[in-house]
Structure 1
Amino acid sequence: MALRIIFFHGLESGCGGRKHRFLQEHYDDVVCVDMHMSLLSLGKRNSILRNLVKNALMTKPWNLYSWSVQCSLDGCLQCQESELFRTQSSKGVLIGSSWGGAVACLAIAKGLWKGPAILIAPAYKLAVGKRGGYDPTYSPLAIYAAMAKQLASDDYVGQVIIVHGTMDDTVPISDSREMASVIGVEVQEVEGGDHRMRCLLEGETPELISLINRAQTTGNPPER
């Protein structure tokens, strides 16, 4: 069976973005499900603004934003569930970029994905805040602890690799360093890389391909 790539897109990029197209150019089986996600578009069913409007009368004002973010994360993960279920962990690699990286964290924490994963500037902590807001089980430390438990299980295959540019001015690189420390995986810091991380797609041997190959090897190395 050929390698299958599941790509979780970013907050506003959707399907057909640069990373998705790059993967399609290099791999025969690439899946990118539209998560119908945006920050401010009411036309996207999982957008944070749409959830703010929908939940406005259902929770206390100080819980509204955090609950809406949680609803957006859950809605995006639901979009991905069928593809995750029908993909063998040993034959697939999950790649999540920014918001997609946050959704990928949730998929791993909940045990919906037990295979190789590459998290590019994962925006989980930025999305939910330090304390996680409405539901304490969604706090960054709670999700990281759940991820660590999943990665330590006997049925988890491959590695989880976090990649983050040192010049990212959208998602703090300190968030990835913290996540890597808690879950005990590798964080690869790309000197000069910005949030878009197009440098991973460039050159005769693009770094993203090398990362995909490395993620498929057995066992998660300790943080370097």
Structure 2
Amino acid sequence: MENQVQNIKVLFLHGLESGVQGSKANYLRKNFKEVCVPDLKISVYKLNKQNSILRKLLFNPKNWLSPRMAGLDSLQCCVDIAQQQIKQFNPDIIVGSSMGGAIACSILAGLKEKQFQKGENQWQGSVLLLAPALDYYLQKTWNQSLQEQWKQILAQNLQNSTNRYDIQIYHGDLDDTVPLQNSNDLIKLCPQIKLEILQGGDHRLNSSLIDNNKLKEIIIKQVQEYQQKQGIQQQPK
């Protein structure tokens, strides 16, 4: 397709009730030649989605009567799918939207092996989080103690790998699904994360990033700056 960026590999992690044919996924395919959009099979209530929270709650005996365990199981299965695709595709940038942003953060924190523990993540590159539903998801499914433990693991892993990642958040100030304060809290915990507040932006951010083609520009700029910092000789076409 004309005007496609040729040599930036984009891996997109979709939101909770979205999928591989969502508006952002299709936008990225239109504007970048190499795009990977793994099907995370996630939802809250849809039983036909393999990793839906309700399905994990009802069909896995260890999760019965435990939304926390079902939420963790669902998140871990999504992390496993994403990690496999990251290893195979080796993207230049990971773009995570809403729940996809929470999954991306979980990968950076090293969530692995269906356990809540510090782990290893070998990938390095740029990470773009669009209204990440991190606190939103944790508050819905985990108790306060586990929320704080997860956040501390994330902060520790990021502090120990400052040169491996360039992480940026774009969040609308009119987001009534995932409050902007969630991203403000995240950058207080991890100061190396950059936050850009989009005035008038809602949760979907389509009018702020898609309709004006701004998302393409943001991705190109972020990847260029990271590659220059790392001394990688590659310029997007």
State the TM-score bracket (shorter-chain normalisation): 0.7 to 0.9
1:58 and 1:17 map into 2 onto residues whose CA distance is 32
User: Partner amino acid for 1:183?
Assistant: C
Label 1:134 to 1:174 Cα distance change in 2 as closer, same or farther (>3 A): closer
| Contact kept? 2:71, 2:142, Cα under 8 Å | no
| Contact kept? 2:178, 2:203, Cα under 8 Å | yes
| Contact kept? 1:117, 1:160, Cα under 8 Å | yes
Percentage of identical aligned residues: 29
1:92 and 1:202 map into 2 onto residues whose CA distance is 24
Q: State whether structure 2 residue 30 is matched by structure 1 residue 28.
A: no
Give the C-alpha shift of residue 213 in structure 1: 2.2
**Match of 1:142?**
152
Q: TM-score, normalized by length of structure 1? A: 0.84
Label 1:93 to 1:75 Cα distance change in 2 as closer, same or farther (>3 A): same
**Match of 2:77?**
75
| Contact kept? 2:11, 2:36, Cα under 8 Å | yes
**Match of 2:138?**
128
Label 1:95 to 1:134 Cα distance change in 2 as closer, same or farther (>3 A): same
User: Partner amino acid for 2:9?
Assistant: R
Unaligned runs of 5+ in 2: 1-5, 111-120, 230-237
1:138 and 1:50 map into 2 onto residues whose CA distance is 26
Q: What is the 5 A alignment of 1:121-200?
A: 121-129=131-139, 132-133=142-143, 136=146, 139-152=149-162, 154=163, 156-157=164-165, 159-184=166-191, 185-198=193-206, 199-200=208-209
Instruction: Give aligned pairs, total.
Output: 209
Give the C-alpha shift of residue 129 in structure 1: 1.5
Q: Report SS of the residue matched to 2:62.
A: coil
The worse-fitting range, judged by mean Cα deviation, of 139-148 and 43-52 is 139-148
The worse-fitting range, judged by mean Cα deviation, of 35-44 and 77-86 is 77-86
1:65 and 1:202 map into 2 onto residues whose CA distance is 37
**Which residue of 66, 75, 88 corresponds with 2:68?**
66
Give the C-alpha shift of residue 60 in structure 1: 7.7
Label 1:125 to 1:31 Cα distance change in 2 as closer, same or farther (>3 A): same
**Match of 1:105?**
105
Label 1:150 to 1:85 Cα distance change in 2 as closer, same or farther (>3 A): farther
| Contact kept? 1:20, 1:32, Cα under 8 Å | yes
**Which residue of 18, 23, 30 corresponds with 2:23?**
18
2:72 and 2:148 map into 1 onto residues whose CA distance is 8
**Which residue of 210, 215, 223 corresponds with 1:201?**
210
Q: Alpha-carbon deviations, 1:80-131, whole Å to 9, x = none? A: 122211344xx51100000111001011111254210100011111111289
2:63 and 2:177 map into 1 onto residues whose CA distance is 29
**Which aligned runs of 4 or more in structure 1 are off by greater than 6 angstroms?**
none
| Contact kept? 1:162, 1:180, Cα under 8 Å | no
**Match of 2:51?**
46
Label 1:51 to 1:134 Cα distance change in 2 as closer, same or farther (>3 A): farther
1:33 and 1:109 map into 2 onto residues whose CA distance is 20
User: Partner amino acid for 1:92?
Assistant: D
Q: TM-score, normalized by length of structure 2? A: 0.80
| Contact kept? 1:129, 1:139, Cα under 8 Å | no
Label 1:130 to 1:180 Cα distance change in 2 as closer, same or farther (>3 A): farther
1:20 and 1:131 map into 2 onto residues whose CA distance is 27
**Which residue of 128, 133, 145 corresponds with 1:118?**
128
Q: What RMSD, in angstroms, separates the aligned Cα atoms of the two structures?
A: 2.4
